Amino acid sequence: MIEIRFHGRGGQGAVTSAELLAYAAINEGRYAQAFPSFGPERRGAPVVAYCRISDDPIRIRANISEPNLVVVLDYSILRIVDVTAGLKHPHGILVTDSKFPGEKVRADLNIKGKLAAVDATRIAMEVLGLAITNTTMLGSLVKASNVIQKDSLIEPLKERFGRIADKNIAAYERAFKETVVLDG
Amino acid sequence: MGKRVGMEVSIAASEAVRLANVDVIAAYPITPQTHIVEHLSEFVNNGELDAEFVPVESEHSAMSVCSGSQAVGARSFTCTSSQGLILMSEIVYCTAAMRLPVIMVLANRSLSNPISIWNDHTDVMSIRDCGWIQYFAENGQDVFDHVLISYRVGEDRDVMLPVIVNMDGFSVSHVIEPVELVDQETVDKFLPPYKPDIVLDPAHPVTMGAIVLPSCYTEAKKAQDEAVKASMPTILKGWQEFGDLTGRYYHPIEEYRTEGAEVLLVTMGGIGETAMWAVDQMREKGRPVGLLKMRLWRPFPFEEFRKAASKARMLVVVDRAISYGGPGGPVASELRSALYNEPKRPLVANFIAGLASRDVAPFDFIEMVDRAEGACKKGMEPEYEIYGVRE
């Protein structure tokens, strides 16, 4: 079982990211769960969402405290939330939005493990015209890990975004290409 | 076989209501039940479900509408949570006493105060004695299946009782997970049209819910108690038939790794899945711990429970509600009572946990078992404890 925790700000689509990933895994015939951290979420405030993926039925219905993967949708979150709390060592991966190359992120956060970084905010602004980084960061996540097959997300993206699906697929593909993965 | 899809559990519940081809839906939105109502109103608006959607001004009215519509022979549905349930509770009791098989999904949520939108079982326990059949679901598949099973069982002319399908708010209702749907043809085979013997009809007037004098009230209540108890064979038959159609068989109490178990965790609702995980971890270490998951709360499955509990040395019951100043949690209290006359009975330790969605992780179950065992070794009769209180 793989456990993934998403950190973002209300309105950036952290919950949508977790959901799309679960749909993709279920469409692969596997088991998955996606759920938000239920609270009085407000636009702009830090939010958390969770996703579990497994080849077997998932028999746990509690929050994720020791994730295999952490995805950060907004670089500014890194300064105010301990995003790597409980991240599995040594195989856990941090996947983050960043304006800077991965090595600077590593130095800033003092992270030792595997790290993936992409300028998701810029990609989202250029492709979607909005700083909503959920679909972009999914591209980065899939690049950094083999949690699902890359194409499995296309159908869920089409279903969720309808007429703006093409742009989201483009953002997803571009982030997949531009993500820099640094082994720990 | 039905299609296997990833969907939010609330949406799966609405799908089941659509497949049951209900005639009337009356509900008032309240967190965390809202997605069900929203989705059903969309179905009706889009012509995907030929039903009357009554946008009532309160839950009291929701249950009044459903009772009235069920009384004229229309299959009815409502859903609510928490404060909504206690607001409608006056009518909830009437619905059962008038033998109107309304089906309600309850997205379980704490009662105020303090105000909490989060999940536990304090809402449903406030109407424990309402006379409805009460199921507890532990995942989306259970919820979907039990909406269909509830109509089949509740409307059976041997039963004619309303049914509550409890699902934990958020931790079940808002989770996206795989659900295997049942196609319309199979549902139609399983669920015949609703044809009650007695309906409200101006051409053939009848009175429902009339006043009775003290000379008859006791008899009416005895009849109601007998009716709920007598629903058991139909409930079992409903599960059997549903299983034969879908391959998914359900039981009043689901046992997990109980073979050779000296200690049994007992749960009700969604935390049962996490408890399975905890049992696996304890079994790996060679500890003889198993799990009983209470699926049927009313009628209470005395026979099945006594049989399942008889081999254990101790039960560790995890409640999600409190009876203030009373015996602890309502589930443990009833289990103790069910065991009292048994010649050989296990000790019953009781933890009240997961109030207002306080996370109950696998290690919490292990901790509860450890603490109950510790008390036992010291020769203390375990009592109840509100687990995880920050001091």
- In tens, the pLDDT along A134-184 reads 999 999 999 999 899 999 999 999 999 999 999 999 999 999 999 999 987
**Residue A162, domain extent:** 2-182
| Mean pLDDT of all residues in A11-28 | 96
Do the two domains B4-246 and B253-386 of this chain adopt the same fold? yes
Measure the CA–CA gap between A10 and A41, rounded to whole angstroms: 6
Phi, psi of A69 (to 5 degrees): -135, 140
The torsion region of residue B269 among left (phi > 0), alpha (psi -120 to 50) and beta comes to left
| Mean pLDDT of all residues in A70-74 | 95
Considering CB atoms only, which of B178, B271, B274 is closest to A31? B178
How far are the Cα atoms of A67, B45, B111, B274 from residue A63, in angstroms, in the given order? 10, 36, 22, 10
The mean of the pLDDT values for chain A is 93
CA B275 distance to own-chain centroid: 18
CATH code of residue A95? 3.40.920.10
Size of interface A-B (CB pairs under 8 A): 68
Residues of A in contact with B359 (CB under 8 A): 62-63
CA angle B211, B214, B218 (to 5 degrees): 95
Q: Which residues contact A179 (CB under 8 A, 6 or more apart)?
A: A95, A116, A117, A118, A139, A140, A143, A144
Cα atoms in the 13 Å half-sphere on the side-chain side of A133 = 28
The confidence score (pLDDT) of residue A44 equals 84
CATH topology of domain B4-246: Rossmann fold (3.40.50)
Q: In this structure, how many other beta carbons lie within 10 angstroms of the beta carbon of residue B213?
A: 6
Considering CB atoms only, which of B6, B172, B271 is closest to A23? B6
The confidence score (pLDDT) of residue A107 equals 85
Residue pair B278/B366 in contact (Cβ under 8 Å)? The answer is: yes
Q: What share of chain A is helix, strand, coil (3-state, %, to 5)?
A: 40, 25, 35
Measure the CA–CA gap between B143 and B121, rounded to whole angstroms: 16
Q: Where are the domains of chain B?
A: 4-246, 253-386
Q: Which of B170, B157, B80, B159 is nearest to B126 (CA)?
A: B80
The confidence score (pLDDT) of residue A40 equals 67
- Beta strand pairing call for B314-319 and A69-72: unpaired
Instruction: Concatenate the DSSP letters of all residues of B40-53 into one string.
Output: HHHHHHTTSS--EE
Sequential pLDDT tens for chain B (391 residues): 689 999 999 999 999 999 999 999 999 999 999 999 999 999 999 999 999 999 999 999 999 999 999 999 999 999 999 999 999 999 999 999 999 999 999 999 999 999 999 999 999 999 999 999 999 999 999 999 999 999 999 999 999 999 999 999 999 999 999 999 999 999 999 999 999 999 999 999 999 999 999 999 999 999 999 999 999 999 999 999 999 999 999 999 999 999 999 999 999 999 999 999 999 999 999 999 999 999 999 999 999 999 999 989 999 999 999 999 999 999 999 999 999 999 999 999 999 999 999 999 999 999 999 999 998 888 777 779 999 999 8
Considering CB atoms only, which of A18, A32, A60 is closest to B273? A60
The confidence score (pLDDT) of residue B266 equals 98
The confidence score (pLDDT) of residue A105 equals 83
User: Dihedral, CA atoms, B26, B27, B28, B32, nearest 10 degrees?
Assistant: -170
The confidence score (pLDDT) of residue B1 equals 63
The confidence score (pLDDT) of residue B380 equals 78
- Fill in the amino acid letter for B220: A
Number of folded domains in chain A?
A: 1
Residue pair B9/B40 in contact (Cβ under 8 Å)? The answer is: no
Instruction: Report domain B253-386's class.
Output: alpha beta
Handedness of CA B212, B218, B221, B226 (dihedral sign): negative
Task: Please tell me which residue, A113 or B139, carries the higher pLDDT value.
Answer: B139
Q: What share of chain B is helix, strand, coil (3-state, %, to 5)?
A: 40, 20, 40
CA–CA min distance A73, chain B (Å) = 20
Point out which residues pair with B178 in neighbouring strands.
B6
- In tens, the pLDDT along A101-112 reads 778 888 887 888
Residues of B in contact with A26 (CB under 8 A): 4-6, 177-178
Q: Could you check whether the bond before residue A46 is cis, i.e. omega within 30 degrees of 0?
A: no
pLDDT classification of A41: cutoffs 50, 70, 90: low
